[in-house]
Amino acid sequence: MPPRGARVEVPFGKRILVGVVHDHQPSSLKTLKPVKRVLDQAPIIDDRLYALCEWAAGYYHHPLGEVLNFVLPTLLRQGQAARPDAEIRWRITDRGRHVTTDRLKRAPRQQEALALLVEHPDGLTPAMLEALSVSRPALQALREKQWAEREELLPQVPPLPADVLAEPALSASPEQRLAIEAINQASGFQPFLLDGVTGSGKTEVYLQAMAPVLAAGRQVLVLVPEIGLTPQTLRRFRQRFAVPVTVMHSGLNDRERLEAWLAAGEGRARIIIGTRSAIFTPLQAPGLIIVDEAHDGSLKQQDGFRYHARDLATWRARQWNIPVVHGSATPALETLHLAHTDRYQWLRLRERAGGAALPDIELLDARDAAPDAPLLPSALTAIEDTVRRGEQALVFLNRRGFAPVILCRDCGWQAECPRCDSVMTWHRSLSQLRCHHCDHQQRVPRRCPECGSSNLIDAGAGTEKLEALLSDHCQAPVVRIDRDTTRRKGSLDAKLAEIRGGAPAVLVGTQMLAKGHHFPRLSLVVITNLDAGFLSADFRGPEQAAQLLLQVAGRAGRKDLRGRVLLQSRHTDHHLVRLAAAGDYHALADTLLEERRMAGLPPFGHLALLRCEAMSMDKALAFLDECAAPFLQHSNVDDDSVNLLGPAPAPMEKRAGRYRAQLLLQARQRPALHGVLDALVRHARGLPSARHCRWHVDVDPTEMV
Ligand code: ADP
Ligand code: ZN
Ligand code: ZN
């Protein structure tokens, strides 16, 4: 009988589907059909991974079948063999070795091929055959005579090198040393927060903590943010260690993805580096998990199966009984709280590596700035001075496009997205208006559609406008990095390489620039337009704004040059803006944590959102009302109660043509929350009105819109 986690083909209506075995039970049901074919004798999702899937399905209230489907590489889902690509070798046989060449006088192609096989006793690969232009029919003919053979070699687990280090480690600072030793001393499950300021050399700590794990023949799983997986990151791991490194990210094709999954599961890969979904990789001999930039939002999946890879990493480390390191200069408040309460061991790097100093942040009051000038004159001067000195500057603006609004000066009309509650962004280089929420696109109107006036103007600035402005002012190339300029494969890497090259330049970009980059010649950072985050009604707004601010600021002065950061703000006396500008993330975090404690918000309380989209707001609200009805009496305030807030229209009421509403569940204790969620989801699935809307549950939501 196929075991749990093996694949089988089953008839389903008229189709044949691939399924994963969950359990066996005798049944007398006549309508049940027998399994058509067993695809795997051994589980393809091993017991450990299966347990993770089951737990995550329960925790995130997502159907187990969909979780298993999500976890399996596409080719396995389609029923292909769980076998790696064999390496093909053509070799000479013993018989072939004794053939004298004149026996092939009348077959010169075969003669040639045989001679080459003699020259290559280890065999010829298809690539070598190609390069040597060996005739395929000739090879086949030799094979039929049994003078040559075709071998299929399955990849083997390579032997452990005598020394896993391919290059010497840097000499660690005392703080780094303490952190490395703590991680290496952990036996079994132990979560760590590696809380190190930007440029403090967290990567060096990871590398040195990994060395003994790899030397012991165990594997290391490294999770990085989507954008953090640059060739430079990979190079640092590949250069240091003489062991195979496998990469997993969304850019792989189906075959590459399957190969990576199998290499990890068979133990051929020793270091597995990937974005969030890599947490679902089977490992043969896990020894350590590292979550780099553990505060990063991309670790949480925001559609379908809404898991948080950061939290699953800790769960897996416990399951595998190994240490897990969460590294960040700006840890999430949840993680910080775990460190404060000693559930995570707190490792701190307070100083930058190699003697560099942390940059000071200067507040620039932008209250009186001209409304259409994205940069204050003093900031512009500082940028010009920087490139004149032969250094690099970075201007951060978290908004793509040329201008966020187009409006009519005569009647006040604004270009709005017909499908969303949102204005359209003007992308000048594309001569298009685009909605950043649903990707609706339209041409830029010549006249106001309301009053016919041609007096249309744009307001505000995006990265495209900043790029144009800086190109006019600066005697250096302006490099823009945002989603629009990096769509083509390899273009981001090319731009990052140009900056690392070190010639004077001005970088303009969005939060893509905030993630872990190391630019040695960058000395000035100008940050604009972060106010909205600090003032946001979303309780996570200030935390995210502070993280963004300090991460972007942290790109300045990482090597020999002294860094300087200018923060343009219209709210220079707001207490959170001031705290953030003081550069003291922990002071700010303590303030925010206190606010969260008072409000019973995470990490002091737990949240889940039930979101619903429908063709009208009434339908969406009605569905959520029905969902909530049986649970309303729970609303008292003892410790294991669950508060239901709403339903209410979502902050963005309409998106991509659908109306959105949400119901918030808030509880002091997780078990209470999950108890109500379980019942609520079951109840919701049975409601007839569920057919008229799309709904989902988001446990531990990170985006409240
Ligand atoms: P973080 O990830 O903490 O922001 P990085 O790991 O990128 O910092 O390190 C910043 C720079 O400092 C890198 O160029 C790295 O090679 C260098 N570095 C790290 N540790 C040391 C050390 N012990 N001695 C000298 N240079 C170091
Ligand atoms: Zn008008
Ligand atoms: Zn839209």
User: Per-residue pLDDT tens for 537-550?
Assistant: 889 999 999 999 99
Tokens of 612: 């619903």
pLDDT score for 635: 52
Distance (Å) from CA 558 to ligand 1 centroid:
9
pLDDT at 633 over 70: no
Interhelix angle 309-320/47-59, rounded to 10 degrees, is: 140
**Cβ atoms of 241 and 165 closer than 8 Å:** yes
Q: How many CB atoms lie within 10 A of CB 541?
A: 16
pLDDT > 70 fraction of the chain, expressed in percent and rounded: 99
Pairing of strands 522-527, 505-509: unpaired
pLDDT score for 278: 97
pLDDT score for 175: 96
Taking the C-alpha atoms of residue 77 and residue 40, their distance in angstroms, rounded to an integer, is 12
**Cβ atoms of 383 and 568 closer than 8 Å:** no
pLDDT at 569 over 80: yes
Q: Give the nearest ligand 1 atom to 554 CA.
A: 4
Quick one: CA dihedral 520, 521, 522, 524, positive or negative?
positive
Query: Which residue in this structure is represented by tokens 């044949």?
Result: 16
- Classify residue 33 by burial, with Cβ atoms within 10 Å: 0-12, 13-18, 19+: exposed
pLDDT at 153 over 90: no
Which residues lie closer than 8 Å to 574 by C-beta, 6 or more apart?
531, 534, 535
What does the pLDDT average to over 498-516?
A: 89
| Closest Cα to atom 9 of ligand 1 | 201
Distance (Å) from CA 352 to ligand 1 centroid:
8
- Residue ranges for the known binding site for Zn(2+) are 408, 411, 417, 420, 435, 438, 448, 451
Relative to the alpha carbon of 516, which ligand is closest?
1
Residues with CB under 6 A from ligand 1: 170-173, 176, 196, 198-204, 353-354, 516, 518, 558
Query: Which residue in this structure is represented by tokens 């009647």?
Result: 411
| Closest Cα to atom 4 of ligand 1 | 199
Which DSSP symbol is given to 437? T
Distance (Å) from CA 430 to ligand 3 centroid:
17
What does the pLDDT average to over 291-301?
A: 95
Pick from 484, 479, 483, 471: which is nearest to 496 by CA?
479
Q: How confident is the model at residue 228 (pLDDT cuts 50, 70, 90)?
A: low
Q: How confident is the model at residue 638 (pLDDT cuts 50, 70, 90)?
A: low
Three-state secondary-structure class, residue 659: strand
The mean pLDDT value of the chain amounts to 92
- Classify residue 420 by burial, with Cβ atoms within 10 Å: 0-12, 13-18, 19+: buried
Distance (Å) from CA 201 to ligand 1 centroid:
3
pLDDT at 136 over 80: yes
pLDDT at 318 over 90: yes
Tokens of 654: 């309409």
pLDDT at 621 over 80: yes
**DSSP string for residues in 599-646:** HT-TTSSEEEEEEEEESSHHHHHHHHHHHHGGGGGG-S-STT-EEEEE
| Closest Cα to atom 19 of ligand 1 | 201
What does the pLDDT average to over 388-416?
A: 94
pLDDT score for 97: 84
pLDDT in tens, 86-122: 888 899 898 888 887 777 778 888 888 888 888 888 8
pLDDT in tens, 137-146: 888 988 998 9
pLDDT in tens, 271-289: 999 999 999 999 999 999 9
Distance (Å) from CA 423 to ligand 3 centroid:
8
Identity of the amino acid at 7: R
Alpha helices (runs of H) in 247-330, residue ranges in sequence order: 254-266, 309-320
Three-state secondary-structure class, residue 24: coil
Identity of the amino acid at 409: R
Bridge partners of 365, per DSSP, are 569
Predicted TM-score (pTM) of this structure: 0.91
pLDDT at 241 over 60: yes
Relative to the alpha carbon of 348, which ligand is closest?
1
pLDDT at 636 over 60: no
Distance (Å) from CA 507 to ligand 3 centroid:
29
Distance (Å) from CA 357 to ligand 1 centroid:
13
354: left (phi over 0), alpha (psi -120 to 50) or beta: left
Question: What is the best residue among 173, 180, 195, 203 to mutate for testing ligand 1's pocket, by most ligand atoms within 8 Å of CB?
Answer: 203
Taking the C-alpha atoms of residue 613 and residue 496, their distance in angstroms, rounded to an integer, is 40
Q: How many CB atoms lie within 10 A of CB 353?
A: 22
Q: Give the nearest ligand 1 atom to 349 CA.
A: 3
What does the pLDDT average to over 51-64?
A: 97
**Cβ atoms of 295 and 332 closer than 8 Å:** yes
What does the pLDDT average to over 400-413?
A: 94
Taking the C-alpha atoms of residue 110 and residue 101, their distance in angstroms, rounded to an integer, is 10
Identity of the amino acid at 555: R
pLDDT in tens, 420-456: 999 999 999 999 999 999 999 999 999 999 999 999 9
Pick from 572, 201, 483: which is nearest to 350 by CA?
201
What does the pLDDT average to over 617-636?
A: 85
Which residues lie closer than 8 Å to 195 by C-beta, 6 or more apart?
328, 329, 331, 336, 339, 346, 347, 348, 349
Tokens of 155: 């990849």
Relative to the alpha carbon of 406, which ligand is closest?
2
Identity of the amino acid at 322: I
Relative to the alpha carbon of 450, which ligand is closest?
2
pLDDT in tens, 454-498: 999 999 999 999 999 999 988 899 999 999 998 888 888 899 989
pLDDT in tens, 650-683: 989 999 999 999 999 999 999 999 999 999 999 9
**Cβ atoms of 395 and 470 closer than 8 Å:** yes
Around ion ligand 3, residues with a beta carbon closer than 5 Å are: 417, 419-420, 435, 437-438, 440
| Closest Cα to atom 10 of ligand 1 | 199
Taking the C-alpha atoms of residue 552 and residue 563, their distance in angstroms, rounded to an integer, is 12
Question: What is the best residue among 295, 518, 558, 559 to mutate for testing ligand 1's pocket, by most ligand atoms within 8 Å of CB?
Answer: 518
Relative to the alpha carbon of 558, which ligand is closest?
1
**Cβ atoms of 646 and 624 closer than 8 Å:** yes
pLDDT score for 178: 97
Tokens of 372: 């259409």
Distance (Å) from CA 309 to ligand 3 centroid:
29
Which DSSP symbol is given to 661? E
pLDDT at 634 over 70: no
